[in-house]
Structure 1
């Protein structure tokens, strides 16, 4: 069977689902190839959604439903006496949302299906070829034990197929890194005596453990035994996890009734490039992190927010220039996530070797040492939340920063969600009126921008800032936007 579409998405995790929904919702033909059967539950390690990912989900109108699926946590207790406060962050979402990845996937999948994306489950990609005209992906489809070969041709392909990405391997892209932890035990289980604040991270000489509420009375439990330095087989006795958690928290936690349990090997790796010609990598295919801080899915959502508007622009205009900065903008964000999550897990490993009394003393001093301690904890919160991420600009100016009005201003949010650039201005001028007539941007009058106008990309980041009557505004619109959606040329395969 041979099919021709605009974009092939390999992998139906959160990044693949979000990208499929974005592009199909803008009228592009999208097929998602997923090697799992549709009925297989994707019980994955991700458990949290942070502020910047919620910003991107809010632009798509999805944040309320996803927030309703979980539990917003105002703070994260780290190894005893140190509290990381999210509630003090300057963001519309000053919390860490604890919710299982599969709950996020349910919302994203429903959106993608409603938008018209096609799904082919039990379809395992076996090869990828590309040329100046497009890409060809071949796969094997398993149905009732029988295998059939299939082929899809498209303008672009995006690998959202995880740690062992076939797309990345087919492109010959290196994935250097190292194992941070071996044999981490993970489970969803009932907990009779949970932490006082609902979730907690603790460490001592036995190792470290993390417990947080997930859904329906279940808790996500991760634990690492300091005596297990090397990877062992995937078989794990639930009693081992129960006893380890009790030993780490130094009291009975009352773990019971697991609905699943496994071991995993925690790596830190990042692809040496995120793009090769017409093929792109997002999410775990591009970067994998330690579980500390729950950053993996969140950075993947940021990848998609950056890439989807670029693919839309390239497909509508036939101009590949819009794709050029994806890797340059997102690879540094992925690299920082590796550092942040790695620092957290290594700190927990070091803390596990410090006597409890000394450990509590150190963290209590840090937590209560006035401005210095608060800045330390706030820095962790900002890193996890992703609110310091910049795209398309450097330095302290507004260009490259995320505009909070992308979420809080309903007109701007709806326009960005439709994939259009927004010109936010405090008042109308001849220049802003000309910008509106161009059809390339939607002009939104907003008091939040004060005395300057902002040209905002569909991912919420500021592409230009200046006076509302500045002559440079029209040049910024001409250079940085794909023009009017109503007057876009017929879709063509953009040359690489």
Structure 2
């Protein structure tokens, strides 16, 4: 049986966390896709354990962070031990401006199952036992960019597809990456790594990760949600990859751990080789690499899955925008933004792994001293934790971040503080008046949609209300209108805002900032900001330049009517979904 799909289809190869995050994001933005995986069903192996703040904020936008938090263990910190004594420590939980100040321990199998349930809830599905058996790229000029043969593993049928866009989320041994000829650059550690999840006797840590750095090698101990621990070791390669037996695990535990620790039983054991590689490019035509297909890391710091989930969300919302009419050039920003993030995560995990492997001599002494001094000064907390959390991206050089349009247009920017384009929008508290129940900026943005914020230091009336109305009128002409929220944030209440809501007919959200933060950006005239679905401020301009700002919002085209085509209330008088109302308090 042979079926030819439409050229406009989006195909996701791989239904791990990265592929599922991509597909869920596309579906949330109203764009269908097909997901295939050569496995017979969702993973049962726990594999990766740690979810950091940056990935958790993305998972919140996808709508699964609450379920993951319920099935997780919050980690309080990490400690480093050498020669039987603690030489360093990092405390978690102090990150500011996020709903996830500490990392969560969640087995990868749980993350996958929650994302899979979300995919089904959104109307998607996965074609299990289906793999891409052949792939060839099509020369530019045609509607499709790739031809793929999909074969059901049981051999019932094959399908010939010609997707316009293909997302390779099929792991470190990606067949798609190999088929399109993208090199995977890097190397492998000359050590085997083995682990065992199970129950252990003795006083193992209850809420922190421990690193025991010994002449025999490293011992990593991670407490698991629901009880038990993971122990993780390195060893000399022995030429096989069979899982270690419990006697070997106990032998390494005796060599490297505190006295009295004993293995009682295990429910999962694994041996593997660690690679540190990154693809030479994350894109070739309409084929995109994401997650382990684009980069693979040491498990140190738990960076791999976190980076992959963020790849998937970034690619998902951009593909959705292009599929609904945005300029295809938006996709050029995927590699510009995500490859540097992958390289940072790779360098971070590689640096930690090499510290693990120092076994004796002066370098080990120096390492222990540096850890001790960095802990006492607080430098370890200040530098290491934000790096691992991946919560503060610098996208100032991205083509998807136009920045300060007043400065670009030659106008004189207002004096005083200004937003930071290319940076994650900071959080601020507000009192909701209409169109939203959220009480913070991050709660409003947790919906994962595009957002237009009209900020005024005055009341939510007059020019600010008129601008918000005009924005909403133009937004309604967009194919992605349901994925764009408009909010008017004022510095103080006004006569036009009745108790418990805005004046009749207004359909954009209205709030009053509790303490001046955003409203300081507009001391004399309203300011309009475009915030991307990932919470990054992409562009801003004074209200008089709202039409120019809309040209930088994917799929939105400014109203071609006259400047005085209706007041804010008139422009917003047609029924429309209340901005941000799809979520509860704080968007959780």
TM-score by length of 1: 0.88
What is the Cα deviation at residue 75 of structure 1? 1.6
Partners of 1:353 and 1:423 in 2: how far apart? 58
Matched residue of 2:552: which SS?
helix
* 1:7 maps onto 2:17 in alignment: no
What is the Cα deviation at residue 209 of structure 1? 1.4
What is the Cα deviation at residue 426 of structure 1? 4.2
Partners of 2:533 and 2:350 in 1: how far apart? 31
Provide structure 2 residue ranges, at least 5 long, that are not aligned to the other structure. Answer: 404-417, 430-437, 479-483, 490-512, 522-526, 561-588
State the Cα deviation string for residues 428-466 of structure 1 (Å, max 9, x = none).
524444323211652223435232343100111110134
What is the Cα deviation at residue 195 of structure 1? 2.8
2:136 aligned partner: 129
C-alpha contact (below 8 Å) 1:390/1:461 kept by paired residues? no
Partners of 2:181 and 2:428 in 1: how far apart? 38
After superposition, residues 84-483 of structure 1 pair within 5 angstroms as 84-90=90-96, 91-131=98-138, 132-134=142-144, 135-143=146-154, 146=155, 148-198=157-207, 199-225=209-235, 228=236, 232-317=240-325, 319-350=327-358, 363-368=371-376, 373-393=377-397, 398-405=420-427, 413=443, 417=447, 419-423=449-453, 425-426=455-456, 429=464, 430-439=466-475, 441-446=484-489, 447=513, 448-452=517-521, 453=527, 454-467=529-542, 469=543, 471=545, 473-483=546-556
Higher RCO (CA-CA < 8 Å; seq separation 6+) = 1
2:87 aligned partner: 81
State the Cα deviation string for residues 95-150 of structure 1 (Å, max 9, x = none).
0111111111111101111212231111121112343312332122123xx45322
Indicate the larger mover: 477-486 or 262-271. Answer: 477-486
What is the Cα deviation at residue 4 of structure 1? 2.5
Matched residue of 1:479: which SS?
coil
C-alpha contact (below 8 Å) 1:412/1:444 kept by paired residues? no
Residues 41 and 463 (structure 1), Cα distance of their counterparts in 2 relative to 1, 3 Å cut: closer
C-alpha contact (below 8 Å) 2:473/2:559 kept by paired residues? no
C-alpha contact (below 8 Å) 2:49/2:108 kept by paired residues? yes
Indicate the larger mover: 24-33 or 172-181. Answer: 24-33
Partners of 2:558 and 2:549 in 1: how far apart? 17
Partners of 2:102 and 2:222 in 1: how far apart? 14
Partners of 1:181 and 1:85 in 2: how far apart? 31
Partners of 1:209 and 1:156 in 2: how far apart? 43
C-alpha contact (below 8 Å) 2:180/2:284 kept by paired residues? yes
Residues 313 and 73 (structure 1), Cα distance of their counterparts in 2 relative to 1, 3 Å cut: same
Which of 8, 16, 20 does residue 19 from structure 2 map onto?
A: 16
C-alpha contact (below 8 Å) 1:329/1:392 kept by paired residues? no
Indicate the larger mover: 199-208 or 214-223. Answer: 214-223
Q: How many residue pairs are counted as aligned between the two chains?
A: 476
What is the Cα deviation at residue 81 of structure 1? 3.0
Which of 53, 56, 72 does residue 54 from structure 1 map onto?
A: 56
Larger radius of gyration: 2
Indicate the larger mover: 104-113 or 114-123. Answer: 114-123
Matched residue of 1:111: which SS?
helix
TM-score by length of 2: 0.75
| Bigger helix share | 1
Matched residue of 1:45: which SS?
coil
C-alpha contact (below 8 Å) 2:196/2:232 kept by paired residues? yes
Partners of 2:362 and 2:244 in 1: how far apart? 27
C-alpha contact (below 8 Å) 1:183/1:231 kept by paired residues? no
Residues 286 and 162 (structure 1), Cα distance of their counterparts in 2 relative to 1, 3 Å cut: same
2:498 aligned partner: none
Partners of 1:359 and 1:273 in 2: how far apart? 35
Superposition CA RMSD, Å: 2.9
Partners of 1:246 and 1:438 in 2: how far apart? 68
Partners of 1:352 and 1:102 in 2: how far apart? 37
